[in-house]
A and B are shown apart, each in its own frame.
Chain A
Amino acid sequence: DGGITQSPKYLFRKEGQNVTLSCEQNLNHDAMYWYRQDPGQGLRLIYYSQIVNDFQKGDIAEGYSVSREKKESFPLTVTSAQKNPTAFYLCASNLRGLPQETQYFGPGTRLLVL
């Protein structure tokens, strides 16, 4: 997990509420990613960013939003439009986004709905 921090470790969301998950990396990586993990489904890509002030939708972007104002930070907001937000959220990064590069992951945030 070293180099990528995610907070909080657990997050509780009330119905109709937006919540923001933090992801910070000190690896000087250009590319950052958000994945959602559900039991038995592997990881699915929500959003990714190759460079500051630019990001792209992944496979399951609906109900989520992101920003990339700083190279080291890539926060994810789970909006009230996401009807099934309960999951384990993983942030990842790699140096430039080249195919041979290893992608490193943070420790994750578990989001639960009250």
Chain B
Amino acid sequence: AQSVAQPEDQVNVAEGNPLTVKCTYSVSGNPYLFWYVQYPNRGLQFLLKYITGDNLVKGSYGFEAEFNKSQTSFHLKKPSALVSDSALYFCAVRDLNYGGATNKLIFGTGTLLAVQP
């Protein structure tokens, strides 16, 4: 079965320090992976995606993610955290069982990022 795991409910980091939000996945075939951010009572905002090619993907707001096929991971990273980065982060993988023409996403349970000043 296709699945996504975000092993940390919350990540705490000091402003200016690097941050990592972890994501592992399980799919049959090549994965299509996405990261979204959600601020309180708002919709999800797209950050970045991995489809194919370079394992290091750069996205919005200075975020990047590293695709690691052998470890089935797609961790989100940022070199220097800002207080304004504090939000809920979701990793998602496309569900291949729904067929090639449907872009249904399977979401992780989310990781709350708290950046302290």
- Are A and B associated in one complex? yes
Q: Which A residues have a C-beta under 8 Å from some C-beta of B?
A: 1, 4, 6, 31, 33, 40-45, 48, 50, 56, 58, 88, 90, 92, 94, 97-108, 110
Question: Do A50 and B101 form a contact, CB below 8 Å, given A43-B90, A106-B43?
Answer: yes
Top 5 nearest A-B pairs (CB, nearest first) are A42-B107, A105-B43, A105-B44, A43-B107, A107-B43
- CA–CA, A108 and B51, complex, Å: 27
Is residue B87 within 8 Å, beta carbon to beta carbon, of the partner chain? no
- CA–CA, A46 and B90, complex, Å: 18
Give the Cβ gap from B23 to chain A, nearest Cβ, in Å: 12
> Given the complex, which residues of B lie within 8 Å of A106, measured CB to CB?
43
- CA–CA, A53 and B43, complex, Å: 26
- CA–CA, A52 and B36, complex, Å: 27
Question: Which of B41, B90, B103 makes the CB contact (< 8 A) with A99?
Answer: B103
Extra A-B contacts (19), CB below 8 Å, given A41-B109, A56-B102, A106-B43: A1-B43, A1-B45, A31-B102, A42-B107, A58-B104, A90-B43, A94-B103, A98-B100, A98-B103, A99-B94, A99-B103, A100-B51, A102-B46, A103-B34, A103-B103, A105-B43, A105-B44, A105-B45, A108-B41
Q: Contact: A42 with B90, CB < 8 Å?
A: yes
Give the Cβ gap from B88 to chain A, nearest Cβ, in Å: 10
Question: Which of B94, B96, B108 makes the CB contact (< 8 A) with A42?
Answer: B108
Is residue B22 within 8 Å, beta carbon to beta carbon, of the partner chain? no
- CA–CA, A47 and B46, complex, Å: 21
Q: Contact: A99 with B110, CB < 8 Å?
A: no
- CA–CA, A97 and B109, complex, Å: 23
Q: List 20 A-B contacts (CB under 8 A).
A: A1-B42, A1-B45, A33-B104, A40-B109, A40-B110, A41-B109, A43-B44, A48-B102, A50-B101, A90-B44, A92-B44, A99-B100, A100-B32, A100-B51, A102-B49, A103-B34, A104-B46, A105-B36, A105-B45, A105-B46
Is residue B82 within 8 Å, beta carbon to beta carbon, of the partner chain? no
